[in-house]
Chain A
């Protein structure tokens, strides 16, 4: 795990090695202070040796300045390396996520991916920062302080060898217990958060059913549980400080008692005793520091695992020749999309890559000519969306072949293939920025005229112009400033700007009223004669004029033909129509 994460350190590797060196200078300088002070008190003062006092004093000031320099340098280093590392890791994660195929995306929830890219990376950055500040410092401090303490008086140092294990035992006991409590607290936190979140999302339901009192009781329960658990965890954590103080103070008293006797017997100087007391404090502090580092590392482990999970996910769809980018053979053989014809040959599909589970599509065979207007109808789960998503290779077939322009989709470079296909997804999104910026996703080099043309074809131009800023209207994050129907029309315009050979619309006019939808269809007929159009729609009125209607049921094609043919002979199609147009039949 560490090796994998370490690989993202990149150019910061050489800097990170400097850190322990800086820390060492810092620690040695810092820790020699009490030792030197002891010399002043014991040698300088009794002998009234003014020169000696000044010499040592200046040495101390010098050392403090050196320590300040190296300490600051290490902090600079820690900041540069930890933030640089975090940036590397974040970029790697982002690029990795961008390379995910649809089936990869389906396995992670959006929220969890966002958390991994934000919080988890920050967590690791903090851990690295703290490690560079303390991980080498704490043991070095412990060793140095022990060495100085032994130098001052070895016998007295025995006290330390008793105190340290006691402190370690005490702290690890608490920390070990604490982990369990922290987990419980985390669970309660999640419960509180999800209660609030659900309530916010469903606030209309809550109000419509007058369930505020019920919701309040529900929340009170989970909030109280959180509070009780947190108090129990907190009570455990607050024992660390007193334990540390107790041991520190006991050790200090022991040092004064035994040291005091030595001073009385002239075996030890007063200054040395005071210096020794300082070392006692430093030693126990460094032990506490080590324990915090362990707690921190334990907490970072969960984040590290979540990050690695993303990094280790293998994009399930990639270019064939990606292993050898730009190789001469690859370039020579690279096919381009010649025309918008589509063919499905004995296609089976299941979502699980392992091949388990049921077929979502079974033995799909159909040929679509370039420029045809094809509609797919069928119930939810009949496989319509799945079928169209195989064309731009959003998923790979389990068996069989999908051909675009007479070439197997797997033989194209992904970029080439997807460039030729415009897809308007069922759950489509717009991005923050202006309308123009969003539309230009389809073609970054589009001229104003091209943009307006696409918008006109999608029946979006008029409402865009009705905004005060026209095409420069800011959409806000997620396109919050437009209605559902407007959003769908913008998404269609965006796909049109690609000037694709194939346009796929997955239920993308559901929020557009039938009036406008008819206009969109009419302008498509007029202006997109050469584009193959595949549309999935619920309304029969949207599909009845298609050149070809494909009726899907339970992953199989149960009918192909025009509206007239199907209505005459296909029972599945008849059933779908019956539920929708009985009014017309009765009254028309």
Chain B
């Protein structure tokens, strides 16, 4: 029976083995936090525990009933009384069955609801965490919070907690019944029971130790599999197959030997405990028989006592088994809460983006006022709170860096004393070798990371004072690594602006030069694409990303040009798309294409986090400096 209850009822979400023997650090606090998630289900718990008492009581009473049945009705041959008694027994059983059914249903509900709430909370929390957090954690690690950890919590709630409590109740109840039936026999039983409990805890401790070793070698085995499969093509190209195979064989053998011991130790508990239970049973039979002969015990009591001894190894097994499941769940919950306790991305900006309109006031332009809530205009402005109300600053797209310094880890400087400005409508090209800090600059404008020194202003407003979501609404981004989401093509374009109509999305695609390839797809704009964009080429995905940025229509764009893997024809399309996107906007472009650089208003040459040259194409070429070298790809070699 113990074996069956170990198996998950519902297919598990997890990918790894479910037993992770990590001890929870703070059982009390974690349990209390999980209980918060029970919410209104808390009251249902009262029902569950009532049901639990009823069903456990019913099971215990059932065995105890054997005594009066045998003594009062069966032995004297009182069939009428027997019938009545059996009817009562049947009623007790029935109540127990009904109770256990409802208890099961309620627990499934509580378990699933709790897991669902936690899952949603965790996901929402993740959305609010800063990029720094994602840099420090692998996807696999975060995924396992959603899969293994939440799974463990859910399993524990659905099955283990109830089963643990009921086993404790049964065990305690059995002991009480034994004392009531025969104190002398109880003493005999207790000696063997102590031995059983001792053996059970020793064995489970030992197997936990081996499981830890197993888990460790499983980790390195799986890691090796993952690496070699991912790098399979490289393995083949280097003819490394037999080396990989023999290395794998070593890890495989190591895992096999530790896993064998761990599996054996965790399994052997069952025959040992079960049969010790039978030794107990036989001992009780002998001693009980002696007591019965000497007249100090009636047959009914003996039969009932034997029935209890026969079953007692089960709750002991259950308690040790379920306890480890519950502990694993608590450890999982702690890991979940750890993520939830992370500092969210701070957004204390007070400057917001508002829809505005100009009204006649006698001046040439008119006065800028906030548009009424029900009208939508094409004009936007920053609303800067001051001592006497809000000041409106028109959104234009003027971005300035003033002596900005930045470091990802607070130790190694990545950008040093960067000052640059982009007037509305200008294109600023960032060039430099890999690791010079081009991407970092673009990540600072939208505040993916916060600068340590200096100021970045947007239309004269310090971006630190701008509400983050409004700041990002005013910025567009096309990254080199194009991420799309599973869904239709039009849905992916609409990601740029959720209220965009189908026509607006199509128009954006046309401007981005994506229209022609989209229309050639099997279902055109309604073609479903997968998140990894498996059915689109790299260039096509880039075109979609441009269309996506287009539909958002922000005054400032950050572009990371693609370098490789795109054919010239598609590249030409992308070039067209990008150029259309750049029109009339302030653009920061991490440039690789000469035509982009050539057309830029200013070129910033970065080297090791510092601006080493700036100017336009002609002036920089004339300087014959770093830019000239990069541009011509001809550096003299010593």
Contact = CB atoms under 8 A, between A and B. Distances in A.
Q: Are A and B subunits of one complex?
A: yes
B170 to A, nearest CB: 14
A327 to B, nearest CB: 19
Given A102-B233, A513-B434, A442 B272 contact: no
A250 B229 CA distance: 56
A202 B483 contact: yes
B116 A224 contact: yes
Contacts of B17: 122
B244 A209 contact: no
Contacts of A54: 286
A429 B235 CA distance: 10
Interface in B156-192: 158
B118 to A, nearest CB: 10
Interface in A237-274: 237-239, 241-242, 245-246, 249-250, 252-253, 256-257, 260-261, 263-265, 270-271, 273-274
Contact of B486 (A194, A392, A418): A194
Interface in B491-533: 495-496, 498, 531-532
Nearest to A288: B4
Contact of B105 (A40, A133, A238): A238
A568 interface: no
Interface in A535-561: 538-539, 541-542
Contacts of A415: 239
Interface in A24-80: 26, 30, 33-34, 37, 40-41, 44-45, 48, 50, 53-54, 56-58, 60-61, 63-65, 67-68, 70-72, 74-76, 78-80
Contacts of B310: 33-34, 278
B286 A57 contact: yes
Contact of A576 (B3, B253, B469, B568): B568
A576 B566 CA distance: 12
Contact of B272 (A72, A261, A271, A494): A72
Contacts of B388: none
A209 B552 contact: yes
Interface stretch (A110-118, A158-166, A361-369, A402-410): A110-118
Given A99-B241, A200-B142, A210-B473, A57 B282 contact: yes
B475 A270 contact: no
Contacts of A263: 74-75
B420 interface: no
B637 A519 contact: yes
Contact of B229 (A97, A196, A289, A513): A97
B434 A91 contact: no
A221 to B, nearest CB: 10
Given A37-B281, A84-B260, A580-B594, A538 B229 contact: no
A418 B119 contact: no
A518 B108 contact: no
B165 to A, nearest CB: 16
Contacts of B597: 583
A587 to B, nearest CB: 6
Contacts of B147: 193
Interface in B550-607: 552, 563-572, 575, 593-595, 597-598
Contacts of B282: 33, 37, 57-58, 60-61, 64
Contacts of B238: 418, 441-442, 494, 498
Given A60-B281, A87-B255, A483-B434, A257 B83 contact: yes
A216 interface: yes
Interface string B295-327: 000010011001100100000000000000000
A17 interface: no
A78 B483 contact: no
B73 interface: yes
Interface stretch (A142-150, A333-341, A379-387): A379-387
A197 B285 contact: no
Interface centre among A56, A70, A97, A265 (most CB of B within 10 A): A97
Contact of B101 (A58, A90, A189, A239): A239
Nearest to B638: A519
Contacts of B1: 285
B62 A249 contact: yes
B276 A68 contact: yes
Contact of B278 (A64, A252, A257, A292): A64
A79 B107 CA distance: 33
Interface stretch (A1-9, A225-233, A349-357): A225-233
Contact of A44 (B3, B289, B477): B289
A186 interface: yes
Nearest to A433: B227
A80 to B, nearest CB: 5
A241 B537 CA distance: 53
A581 interface: yes
A117 B139 contact: no
A522 B73 contact: no
A515 B637 CA distance: 10
B90 A249 contact: yes
B278 A541 contact: no
B271 A26 contact: yes
Contact of A238 (B104, B239, B263, B292): B104
B256 A64 contact: no
A507 B531 CA distance: 25
Contacts of A94: 225, 228, 244-245, 248, 252
Nearest to B129: A203
B112 A587 contact: no
Does more than half of chain B's interface fall in helix, strand or loop, or is it mixed? helix
Interface string A208-225: 111110111001100110
A18 B380 CA distance: 81
Contact of A575 (B100, B285, B292, B568): B568
Nearest to B469: A210
B567 A381 contact: yes
Contacts of B249: 91
A209 B472 contact: yes
A97 B131 CA distance: 37
A441 B233 CA distance: 13
Contact of A133 (B3, B82, B119, B223): B3
A115 B15 contact: yes
B96 A245 contact: yes
Given A50-B293, A260-B82, A214 B498 contact: yes
A117 B225 contact: yes
B274 interface: yes
A192 B289 contact: no
B594 A584 contact: yes
B568 to A, nearest CB: 5
A519 B629 CA distance: 12
A84 B306 contact: no
Contacts of A83: 256, 259-260, 263
B625 to A, nearest CB: 13
A80 B263 CA distance: 9
B234 A584 contact: no
Interface in B3-19: 3-4, 7, 9-11, 13, 15-17
Interface stretch (B120-128, B369-377, B456-464): B120-128
B485 A198 contact: yes
A394 interface: yes
A173 interface: no
A105 interface: yes
A175 interface: no
A510 B565 contact: yes
Interface in B112-150: 112-113, 115-116, 119-120, 123-124, 126-128, 131, 134, 139, 142-143, 146-147
Given A483-B434, A486-B434, 13 more contacts: A57-B282, A68-B271, A72-B268, A75-B264, A80-B260, A94-B248, A197-B143, A207-B448, A292-B4, A299-B11, A380-B537, A429-B231, A582-B594
7 nearest A-B pairs in the assembled complex, by CB-CB distance: A71-B271, A379-B567, A238-B104, A57-B286, A510-B564, A234-B108, A60-B282
8 contacts: A67-B271, A200-B134, A203-B131, A216-B124, A429-B234, A507-B564, A513-B630, A539-B633
